[in-house]
A and B are shown apart, each in its own frame.
Chain A
Amino acid sequence: MNLQINQNQINETHELHLTGEVDAYTAPKLKEVMLPLTEKDGSVVVVDLSGIDYMDSTGLGIFVGALKSSKANNSSLKLRGMTDRVKRIFEITGLTEVMDIESGVKGEAL
């Protein structure tokens, strides 16, 4: 299974719309796109996950890395539109407490 990343930029806001799976094979691709965006001071990175039906722990690691990078570089990272399966692993790992996550309903409507 593949990962498709669509990018959209309005001023300082970078939107990433992901479709497919984020796993050990596709995670490097996501990192390559997302990490540089979080390294820009003041940028807002919004990641729409409504097209992701599976994410493994390696994929989760990319978001952890991006979160750390956004804190270090004064940018912000927002996630939205999680499917239940993806939401579950963010909840179990406690990451929902430390990440900016919009409710799934709103994300899916967008």
Chain B
Amino acid sequence: MTAKDALTERYQDLLSVYLKAKTETTLYKGQQFSRKLLEQQISPEDLVSLHIQVMDELFPDMSEEMRDSFDFLLEAMIGYGFAYREHQSLRDKQQQLESEIEVAASMQQTLLLSDVPDFDELDIGVVSVPAKKMNGDYYNFVKSGSSLSVAVADIIGKGIPAALCMSMIKYAMDSLPEEQMKPHLLLENLNRVVEQNVHSNMFITMFHGVYEPESHKFFYAGAGHEPGFIYNAKEDRFHDLIAKGLVLGVSRTTTYHPYERVIEIGDMVILLSDGVTECRTSKGFIEREEIVSLIRKYMDLPAQQIVQNVFQELDRLQGFELRDDFTLIILKRMV
């Protein structure tokens, strides 16, 4: 017996039971049966035709008008049949697109994965979580000689366009010569690349810093990026890590200001994306002071545990529904 025959038989059983007893239970069974029909991809007009076939068998003496009315119904169902098949094909296409995005997302992960380097002087913690499948935040660590360079960037917009743009940033950064490891010069170079290559509505915010272990100096510059924080252990206070500068991609001739400061033992450099400060909860936005107090709460832990705990608490405050990509990096000077 084919699947279709089985369906016909089942339909005939249900219908004849219903016509005899007219119980609610059978009606409900009819409703459940319609799921089975969908599973078997039976189209609306197929169902009407099935109904006609069954009625013919149950009532061989059916009046001619009744019989003809079914034929008419069958014709009237054709439009629904088209709609049904279109829905099927859209569903197939959507599944195909989703699996392509999955592939792209995992490619992006592989391409952009930046290992957190082992660095004797610094304890480093990183968390970077996309709101959707693809991450528009970017961070990057590079060990160059004895120094450590760290970048964090946020591409406006989300999803695939942002992710594609970010791949461009990665390759532009990789191809810059090493003597360009001065943050303000690196941003000037990148700005020219971005300005030439992005759509006029797009821009990128970036913070770039280099830690030099000999002098314990942190050199940095910013292109319109959400300010991070510096924790001063001696004062036991957090300060904003201000690095003023225009976002990348607006004006080709932009220059960036070089900043530097000495990092003492126990000090922390905290970098973030605006996903951290743009967290919206039922009570409004998370303020920067709240981020600071969360970091303070966990700051005796290793850096990786601090960032993870802060992320988990913010995620919980937002009802576990991340609206923007989220990146938080902590560098803590140990020795």
Contact = CB atoms under 8 A, between A and B. Distances in A.
A105 interface: no
Given A56-B278, A92-B227, A94-B244, A61 B250 contact: no
B247 A93 contact: yes
Interface in A6-65: 24, 31, 56-58, 60-62, 64-65
B284 to A, nearest CB: 10
Interface string B224-244: 111100000000000000001
Q: How large is the interface on A (under 10, 10 to 19, 20 to 34, 35 or more residues)?
A: 10 to 19
B278 A64 contact: no
B158 A24 contact: yes
A69 B216 CA distance: 45
Interface string B242-254: 0011110111000
Nearest to A89: B274
B223 interface: yes
Interface size class of B (residues with CB under 8 A): 20 to 34
B203 A98 contact: no
Interface string A83-105: 00000000011110110000000
Among A24, A57, A58, chain B packs the most CB atoms within 10 A around the CB of A57
A61 B224 contact: no
Given A60-B156, A61-B201, A68 B278 contact: no
A62 B203 CA distance: 10
Contact of B201 (A62, A92, A93, A97): A62
Interface of B: 154, 156-158, 199-203, 205, 223-227, 244-247, 249-251, 274, 278
